[in-house]
Structure 1
Amino acid sequence: MGEITNFRGETTPSGSRSMGEDEVRALITRVGERVRKARERKGIPRRVLSEISGVSPRYLAQLEAGEGNISIGLLQRVAIALDHRIEWLMTEEDPWSSEALHVAELYRSANTATRQQVMNLLRPESSQEMRAQRICLIGLRGAGKSTLGQRAGDVLNIPFVELNREIEEQSGMPVNEVMALYGQEGYRKLEAQAVSRVIQTHDTMILAVAGGIVAAPDTYTTLLNRFHTIWVKAAPTEHMERVRAQGDTRPMAGNPEAMQELKSILTSREALYEKALARLDTTGKTLDVSLRELLALIADHKFLG
């Protein structure tokens, strides 16, 4: 085997270095094409993908053109933003013509009941195994989810995650800016992705979610299936008082019917919240009392095994 000389005057056996460079170039081109096609199939402009993933538009343009040598960390961000696994972007198999992609497309377009049937067939483990030791606190703002979740996590020495903070970390902007930029639909998509991420990264945890997540059927079904859910509730007046005590006067400002609207929301969501495996009423109770009751409830239901 002969040798080749590069521009720095270095010599290597002919075929060995060039073959490696060809393989790397083919990988970069393949990844770029898949990122571009996935983005176009989802109808996401490059600017929006940049904002969701935190990767600059210039870097994304180079990547899609097969000219970027993106790091694994940045590529992972892009994969998450496109709702794909990073392996999917790198495999040599053509994903666009594969049977797996067709099945995935059918699953995404199916209703909640059909999705659950598919999951039961593909993953026939018990409900307890699916939920592992993950606990999720649901309910309206002001019930005490975040405060109790953090305190319980400290006592039990397990991670506490607030889903909105997870969304903010991934999107690189506050939730109110996410809502302003992407609207309710965009926020719900990021919310669903955040739920999937915490499931993949935590077998043991306490999660607190926004009160409106129960209005997203697919995401709420995922929570019910993959977490031991607890409805943290309170009387409407206490919900309002606690929100105001947190420094947020918006619920009452210029809206004399705010309390009636809050009661209507509670009434409309009550049937959804009641799907939780357990409930904790914090009305008229101190934080210490509510925390003791939450810890007892977790122990009684054996949510942590």
Structure 2
Amino acid sequence: MTKPDAVAELMARVGERVRKARERRGVSRKTLSEISGVSPRYLAQLEAGDGNISIGLLQRVALALDQKIDALVGDEDPWTSQVLRVAALFRAAPTDLRKTVLELLTTVERPRAKRICLIGLRGAGKSTLGRMAGAALKIPFVELNRTIEDLAGIPVADVMALYGPEGFRTLEAQALQRIIALHDTVIVAVAGGVVGEPETYKNLLAHFHSVWITAAPGEYMPRLRAQGDLRPMAGNPEAMRQLEAILASRTPLYQQAQATVDTTGKTPEISLADLLQTIAREKFLD
């Protein structure tokens, strides 16, 4: 599918879902315009699949329809997907019913199953080792940031710019929950800052076998430079000192992981062997 075809398909899908959501709520286009602040002309174009609406305006339409924006742009149709329909029903249910449903689901849940999560600072090697381990073990590998982008429909950098740290952390928690719901066997690499959000980190430790991928402080910068990632160094002579401070502050949180793999001075192949040995020794996939 060419890019123009893919864009046209996306806009047609968004338009159809906006129209269906509006009709299900029993509101006219004029009423939706008044609630969302988006002009009737824009809404007409959007529902016809001809709109070129910005993310900000689409978010206002989604909020006016009591929808999450990913329900309008995602690959799954919210009206035919059982997962999304159940999620919508759960959000609309009274508190006591939601509590009962959670208790019932918890009784059949396999807390950690065969899920493995790699934590640690950026540059430690989480994504590289996760991808290699997934291939070696023949299990799916997922980066949490890619799932966040799937939910938001935009790159992580744009999520931060549009919604700020709080919005990003909300999506991060939702993305983690989606992975838990979809995978009993998986290896996941998460951003280094996930440990700073207590509830999300608690959820992660409860549902994944966790491995801290670490390295000596002096190894992070050269690795990031080798990857072409200059963000930590660009115009910042204090970058190394800041990295050491971040590592020191997060170390007690990273140490809550069940196992540690130190990649200092090692090739990716040697570190992979260490990780696979750790997974076997700890019986994470048994």
| TM-score (normalised: structure 1) | 0.67
Q: 1:97-135 deviations in whole A, cap 9, x for unaligned?
A: 56225x49xxxxxxxxxxxxx97x973689xx4100000
Report the Cα offset of residue 172 of structure 1.
1.3
- 1:1-305 equivalences under 5 Å are 32=25, 73-75=76-78, 85-87=84-86, 89=88, 95=92, 97=94, 99-101=96-98, 103=99, 123=106, 129-305=110-286
Q: Which amino acid aligns with 1:132?
A: A
Q: Which amino acid aligns with 1:130?
A: P
* RMSD, matched Cα: 3.9
Report the Cα offset of residue 250 of structure 1.
2.2
CA distance in 1, matches of 2:247, 2:200: 19
Q: Which amino acid aligns with 1:249?
A: L
Q: In structure 2, do the counterparts of structure 1 residues 77 and 51 end up closer, same or farther at CA, with 3 Å as the change threshold?
A: farther
CA distance in 2, matches of 1:125, 1:78: 22
Q: In structure 2, do the counterparts of structure 1 residues 257 and 291 end up closer, same or farther at CA, with 3 Å as the change threshold?
A: same
| 1:74 aligned counterpart, secondary structure | coil
| 1:75 aligned counterpart, secondary structure | coil
| Structure 2 unaligned residues grouped into runs of 5+ | 1-19, 27-35, 39-52, 68-73
**Do 2:111 and 2:206's aligned partners in 1 also have CA atoms closer than 8 Å?**
yes
In structure 2, what is the equivalent of residue 23 of structure 1? Answer: none
Identity, in percent, stands at 50
Report the Cα offset of residue 79 of structure 1.
10
Q: 1:210-268 deviations in whole A, cap 9, x for unaligned?
A: 00000010010011000000000011111111111111222112211110100000000
Q: In structure 2, do the counterparts of structure 1 residues 273 and 260 end up closer, same or farther at CA, with 3 Å as the change threshold?
A: same
**Do 1:31 and 1:90's aligned partners in 2 also have CA atoms closer than 8 Å?**
no
Q: Structure 1 runs of 4+ off > 6 angstroms? A: 27-30, 54-64, 76-80
| TM-score (normalised: structure 2) | 0.71
Q: Which amino acid aligns with 1:255?
A: N
Q: 1:26-49 deviations in whole A, cap 9, x for unaligned?
A: x9789538xxxxxxxxxxx798xx
Max radius of gyration: which structure? Answer: 1
How many aligned positions are there?
240
CA distance in 2, matches of 1:125, 1:59: 33
Report the Cα offset of residue 73 of structure 1.
3.1
Q: In structure 2, do the counterparts of structure 1 residues 260 and 303 end up closer, same or farther at CA, with 3 Å as the change threshold?
A: same
Q: In structure 2, do the counterparts of structure 1 residues 125 and 79 end up closer, same or farther at CA, with 3 Å as the change threshold?
A: closer
| 1:123 aligned counterpart, secondary structure | helix
Q: 1:256-289 deviations in whole A, cap 9, x for unaligned?
A: 1110100000000000000000000000001110
**Do 1:46 and 1:60's aligned partners in 2 also have CA atoms closer than 8 Å?**
no
